Amino acid sequence: MSRNVNLGVLVSGAGTNLQAILDAISERKLAASVRLVVSNKPGVLALERAHEARVPTKVVSHRDYADREAFDGALVEALVGAGVDWVVLAGFMRLLTGKLLRAFPNRVLNIHPSLLPAFPGVDAQRQAFDYGAKVTGCTVHLVDEGTDTGPIVAQRAVPVLVDDDVESLTARILVEEHRLLVEVLAAIAEGRLDVTPGIDGKRTRAHLRRA
């Protein structure tokens, strides 16, 4: 049984992952509602996409805050105020501190364009291409205080083709990112995400139960 999950989506740029979420909701493929879109940058396309879908938006510029904790505090205030249950980083380019993660324990997701733990950080598609990887892909993971180091929820492999350049590879990965992110959120709405906290130094594990 799906229940409506209240999402807060953090963006920094194009917002194609946000658009994938909005489209899935309007096509009734995702039992969720986007309560707020927050960008750390004004004027990005992601904000226009939210406006088109009549989703409330807020710009919280990291430049307006003395430090990361204060910035996160403003994010938490906006997200909690909007009734958000789950936070989705969709092309969001800032590291989060424990302040936001404590407000949404094991409820902050990120979509990353590589098969973590390979190629964390920025420009993951180019990292894989330049390394000569034959298979790369995308990962949805729970966010922790590291850089793309949180518990992996789901992954999708994408081949690197012999005539690829970084742009063609990036475009192929992006298609799979959109599909994977919606699949994970739909599973969460159906209560199918299991999180097993790690003990004795082991990593926390997350996985999606089959429908």
Q: Which residues of 101-140 are buried (b: 16+ CB within 10 A; e: fewer)?
A: bebbebbbbbbbbbbbeebeeeebbebbbeeebeebbbbb
- How wide is the angle at C-alpha 200 spanned by C-alphas 185 and 87, nearest 5°? 20
Residue in the shown chain whose Cβ atom is closest to ligand GRF: 91
Q: Which stretch binds ligand GRF (CB under 6 A): 15-23, 60-68, 73-81, 145-153?
A: 15-23
Residues in region 83-112 near ligand GRF by CB under 6 A = 90-91, 111-112
Nearer residue to ligand GRF within complex by CB, 72 or 177: 177
Residues in region 146-175 near ligand GRF by CB under 6 A = 174
Closest alpha carbon to 116 in 141, 91, 96: 141
The sheet carrying 32-39 orders its strands as: 57-59, 32-39, 5-11, 86-89, 108-112, 135-142, 152-159
Query: One of 112, 141, 178, 207 is an active-site residue; which one?
Result: 112
φ, ψ of residue 111 to 5 degrees: the values are -110, 125
Contact 126, 103 (CB under 8 A): no
Nearer residue to ligand GRF within complex by CB, 91 or 137: 91
Q: Which of 113, 137, 150, 151 binds ligand GRF (CB under 6 A)?
A: 113
Task: Count CA within 13 A, CB hemisphere, residue 185.
Answer: 37
Minimal distance, residue 31 CB to ligand GRF, in Å? 21
- Using CB under 6 A as the binding rule, whether residue 115 contacts ligand GRF is answered as no
* Binding mask of the shown chain, residues 55 to 74, with x at each position contacting ligand GRF by CB under 6 A: --------------------
Active-site residue 178, yes or no? no
Cβ partners under 8 Å of residue 35, min gap 6: 6, 7, 8, 55, 56, 82, 83, 84
Nearer residue to ligand GRF within complex by CB, 10 or 101: 10
Nearer residue to ligand GRF within complex by CB, 174 or 206: 174
Task: Give residues in contact with ligand GRF (CB under 6 A).
Answer: 11, 13-18, 46, 90-91, 111-113, 174, 177
**Annotated active-site positions, please?**
112
